[in-house]
Structure formats: structure tokens, C-alpha cells
Amino acid sequence: DVKVTQSSRYLVKRTGEKVFLECVQDMDHENMFWYRQDPGLGLRLIYFSYDVKMKEKGDIPEGYSVSREKKERFSLILESASTNQTSMYLCASSFRGPPPDTQYFGPGTRLTVL
Amino acid sequence: QQPVQSPQAVILREGEDAVINCSSSKALYSVHWYRQKHGEAPVFLMILLKGGEQKGHDKISASFNEKKQQSSLYLTASQLSYSGTYFCGTEIGEYGNKLVFGAGTILRVKS
């Protein structure tokens, strides 16, 4: 079974802190994704990586950066956390297409910024 | 551009049928459907590809109208386990990579 794990299920940080969210997949997938999930807005793509050290901005990259030094690991960084970044963060991975492949999701990290 | 899902929410009794729609303003290469139960990760249900090929779930079906840029998910004889939020993800490129997800449809099945 494909496994996507995220470093924390719940995280509480203070405004201005630097926050690292980590994601690891064990299926040798080329693609990895970071999404933000808010009620009524669905899943919005923050960043996407299609190979080691390669990244593309998603729909809402402002205030975030990412790092992918190894194929299995994709990190999301909030350089200076703000209260409007309080949200559920989901990581996903898939094989690189074409054809399109299933995305496998991690359990999510619920981040609260005070 | 985020695809539009309808309805936003639906309540069913066990055994009833439901249809969830997903509509895009852009030409689509594929449509992906996921279900998320409360407190859990989204789980893959189905991929529909331009040209008609379909992969997915044996108890749930879907259609993809390329001309209208729409997809519909059909849940027949619903069970309590069908409850959750259903998301469509649309892909506009042919690279099999990024998806844009809709806001979701909340489905609740009551006994």
C-alpha cells in the first residue's frame, strides 16, 4: 500500500514563527503536492514538485516556500507564520504523467497560528 | 479556475441515488473524483480521461462530457459508508500532473 506520512497531525505556532511541515512518501513517486484545505473552498494547490529540486507554484503560493532535496520528501515552509495561514495542510504524491495518475494523500496537518 | 460542483450538499436515505456534478470553464483532459470522510485524507474513486477511458470504483460510476466540460458522479443504492465530501479534480494539460479541485459536495446518508 502507498503510504504518505506527514510530520504532525496538529501544530500550534505563534505569529511570526518559521514553520516546517514535512511529507514523506514511500512509492517512488515523481510528483509531490502541497494543498491547503479550508471549509467551502476545497483543496487549493500551494506548490507542486515534479522532480528533486524542481518546483512549480500552484494557485496560492504567497507566504509559502518548499524544498525537495530527496525524492521521497517534500517540505512546506512558512517563513513567517500569520493567522490567515491557520488551516488544514494536505500533502499528496503521484507518478508523473501522462497518463494522469491517482494522487495519494497524507492524513493532513491542522495548523493553528495564534 | 476552480471547477464548480453541484449540489453543495445532499442528504439521502439508504438505498437512494445521488448525482454530483462538476463543471469547468476550460477544456479538460481528465477529471478525477475523490471522497473524504470526516477527519481523514481524501481517497481516490475514479479517473475519467478525454476520449472516454475510465478507471475506478466498482460501486460508483461517472460520466465525462468533453464538449460541455462537465463530469457527473453517480452513486446508486447509497449506503451509510458513502457519507463524506466528494471532490472533483480537473486537469487541463496532457501531462497527468496538476489538478484543480472543486469546493466539494457534502453527502450524508441516513438510515
Q: Indicate whether A64 belongs to any domain.
A: yes
pLDDT at residue B17, as a whole number:
93
Q: Indicate whether A95 belongs to any domain.
A: yes
- State how far the Cα of B7 lies from the Cα of B9, in Å rounded to an integer: 5
Which of B24, B98, B100, B105 has the highest number of chain A CBs within 10 A, making it the mutation to test binding with A? Answer: B98
Residues 6+ apart with CB under 8 A from A26: A2, A3, A4, A72
Mean pLDDT over each residue of chain B, to the nearest integer = 89
Mean pLDDT over each residue of chain A, to the nearest integer = 94
Quickly tell me which residue has 476552480 as its cell: B2
Q: CB–CB of B47 and A102 under 8 A?
A: yes
CATH number at residue A61: 2.60.40.10
Q: What is the average per-residue pLDDT within A46-55?
A: 92
Q: CB–CB of B44 and A58 under 8 A?
A: no
Q: Indicate whether A108 belongs to any domain.
A: no
Q: What percent of chain A has pLDDT over 90?
A: 89
For A9, the grid coordinates are 497531525
Q: Which domain holds residue A78?
A: 4-101
Taken in order of first residue, the domains within chain B and their CATH numbers are 4-110 (2.60.40.10)
* Interface A-B: count of C-beta contacts within 8 A: 70
pLDDT tens by residue, A25-41: 999 999 999 999 999 99
- Chain B, nearest residue to A39 by Cα: B103
Number of domains in chain A: 1
pLDDT at residue B95, as a whole number:
61
- State how far the Cα of B101 lies from the Cα of B89, in Å rounded to an integer: 4
Q: What is the average per-residue pLDDT within A84-89?
A: 98
Q: Indicate whether A44 belongs to any domain.
A: yes
> In chain A, which residues have their Cβ closer than 8 Å to the Cβ of B2?
42
pLDDT at residue B50, as a whole number:
77
Out of A42, A104, A107, name the one closest to residue B104 (CB). Answer: A42
pLDDT tens by residue, A6-15: 999 999 999 9
Q: Indicate whether A77 belongs to any domain.
A: yes
Q: Indicate whether A53 belongs to any domain.
A: yes
Q: Indicate whether A46 belongs to any domain.
A: yes
Count the neighbouring beta carbons within 10 Å of the beta carbon of residue B31. 31
Ranges under pLDDT 70 in chain B:
52-58, 93-96
pLDDT at residue B16, as a whole number:
94
pLDDT at residue A93, as a whole number:
95
pLDDT at residue B55, as a whole number:
58
Q: Indicate whether A110 belongs to any domain.
A: no
* CB-based contact A40:B81 (threshold 8 Å): no
pLDDT at residue B54, as a whole number:
61
> In chain A, which residues have their Cβ closer than 8 Å to the Cβ of B49?
99-100
Q: Between β-strands B30-36 and B84-91, what pairing exists: parallel, antiparallel or unpaired? A: antiparallel
